[in-house]
Amino acid sequence: MVQDRFQRSLRSLRISVTDRCNLRCSYCMPAQDYVWLPRESVLSFEEIRRLVSILAGLGAAKVRLTGGEPLLRRDLSTLVRFLAKVPGISDLALTTNGILLQEQACELRAAGLHRITVSLDTLDPSRFEKLARRGRHAEVIAGIDAARAAGFERLKINSVVVRGFNDDELADLLRFARRKGAEIRFIEYMDVGGANRWSADRVVPGKEIRDRLEHLFGPISPLPVDPAAPAKRFTLPDGTSFGIITSTTAPFCGGCDRARLTADGIWYLCLYAREGTDLRSLLRQGATDETIAGAIRDGWTRRSDRGAEDRFQTRDRGALHSLSELRKDPHLEMHTRGG
């Protein structure tokens, strides 16, 4: 088990399998056109499998596949099959916008994927189109149904709450998730790379989300806290559970066990980190597993990142990056780094 400077173990991996996406959510992908990662730099499934095995040898046990839109990566179920067999990996999950689940949910399940989270911020198709700049709301809803039908029982729905956009839908989204047999998690709007229209007044604090739900549904009870989990979980009087992720107003870096790997093999120790470690070059220069494990161990033992807490201390907080900065380094983008 490898630990950083704050005794945080390396347990969870967010792996972005592509920077491409079939939506253009404005809080994540603000521009009209993009600087995409060159195709030849994108890791092969075999390269990802090897890195995950090395990381599992250092104690990582949880993998979440993300992107961009991970289901756009051709033949993703083959990667799932590889990763499901890596010794030490006990939790294999996917975060997706859901559009392609109708086609892929069954094969992902058969390949050994354990859990799916679908992102859905609104029940209104025209609002969806305004946010995502694509009119594909019905496919997301059908994707959620397809995931249930394929047997994914611990389904989650992620909703980013943006004041003035969807904060009037909290109760409807919660009821929708309950009807679909999913647990909803309300996420505070974050000033991550890509969110270059972020402003503090558009954030709905977790406390306000909780108070509003309590007003509508009655007393809310907290569920036991997992210090490494981003979501604080609660139940309504009827037993419905839900989560709130307070990354912006009450960050939880103290228990953070997550590292991120971009589709082109740059390893980041924090969602907000400016610099990462280039594991692709090590892989492609023929480094041994021991050398790569050494680079990862060194990076993690030196880790002191507390990105969201640092942002919380920032006075006059505005967007993290400008469009011109994002243009210079696509790795700063949320859709490249993986949410």
Burial 142-173 (b: 16+ CB within 10 A, else e): ebbebbbebebeebbbbbbbbbebbbebbeeb
Closest chain position to ligand SAM (CB): 339
159 is a contact residue toward ligand SF4 (CB under 6 A)? no
Of 182-221, which residues contact ligand SAM (CB under 6 A)?
187, 189-190, 192, 195
256 is a contact residue toward ligand SF4 (CB under 6 A)? yes
336 is a contact residue toward ligand SAM (CB under 6 A)? no
202 is a contact residue toward ligand SF4 (CB under 6 A)? no
* Segment interacting with ligand SAM, rule: CB under 6 A, options 20-28, 271-279, 288-296, 325-333: 20-28
- Residue from the set 10, 15, 17, 23 that interacts with ligand SF4 by CB under 6 A: 23
69 is a contact residue toward ligand SAM (CB under 6 A)? yes
156 is a contact residue toward ligand SAM (CB under 6 A)? no
Q: Distances from the Cα of 216 to the Cαs of 124, 190, 239, 271, in angstroms? A: 21, 26, 15, 34
- Decide: helix, strand or coil at residue 226: coil
Q: What share of the chain is helix, strand, coil (3-state, %, to 5)?
A: 35, 15, 45
Phi-psi region of 73 (alpha: psi -120 to 50; beta: other; left: phi over 0): beta
> Which partner from the list ligand SF4, ligand SAM, none does 263 bind, CB cut-off 5 to 8 Å by kind?
none
Considering beta carbons, is residue 69 or 139 the nearer one to ligand SF4? 69
Determine whether 328 is exposed, middle or buried from the number of CB atoms within 10 Å of its CB (0-12, 13-18, 19+). Answer: exposed
| DSSP for residue 114 | -
d(C-alpha 158, C-alpha 243), whole Å: 9
305 is a contact residue toward ligand SF4 (CB under 6 A)? yes
73 is a contact residue toward ligand SAM (CB under 6 A)? no
> Which partner from the list ligand SAM, ligand SF4, none does 268 bind, CB cut-off 5 to 8 Å by kind?
none
Q: Least separation, in Å, of the C-beta of 297 and ligand SAM?
A: 28
* Segment interacting with ligand SAM, rule: CB under 6 A, options 44-52, 91-99, 209-217, 299-307: 91-99
258 is a contact residue toward ligand SF4 (CB under 6 A)? yes
d(C-alpha 31, C-alpha 327), whole Å: 9
d(C-alpha 335, C-alpha 330), whole Å: 9
Per-residue tokens: 87: 């010794």
d(C-alpha 150, C-alpha 178), whole Å: 18
* Segment interacting with ligand SF4, rule: CB under 6 A, options 37-45, 147-155, 213-221, 249-257: 249-257
28 is a contact residue toward ligand SF4 (CB under 6 A)? yes
> Which partner from the list ligand SAM, ligand SF4, none does 306 bind, CB cut-off 5 to 8 Å by kind?
ligand SF4
